A = this chain, B = another copy of it.
């Protein structure tokens, strides 16, 4: 196998991350977070989605290690946990050039 190409076992892990990014709202949330750290409420407004849905998506991404959260008062601020994420999204954008 060519140097740097992931083997089978690795692909399973990566595919799981891709799956997490394969939902339009989650991807949009992530794009918002690439811009700046935000609270759940702010993200809800940006997405035009109900609060529990946003919270669910964020939880999923947090468990996957993609975002992280910190509490400040009764707000929770979310941000990108993995610094490679913005590059991945930009890289993916090149694929879809319509």
Binding site for B on A (CB under 8 A): 1-2, 4-8, 10-19, 21-28, 31-32, 34-35, 47, 66, 82, 84-96, 98
- Assess the B4–A90 pair: CB atoms within 8 A: yes
Given known contacts A91-B84, A92-B17, A95-B14, is B22 in contact with A8 (CB within 8 Å)? no
In this complex, the member of A7, A17, A85 whose beta carbon has the largest number of chain B beta carbons within 10 angstroms is A17
A–B Cβ pairs within 8 angstroms, 19 of them: A1-B32, A1-B35, A5-B89, A6-B28, A6-B31, A10-B93, A11-B27, A12-B24, A13-B96, A14-B95, A16-B22, A17-B95, A18-B19, A18-B21, A18-B92, A19-B19, A66-B95, A88-B91, A91-B92
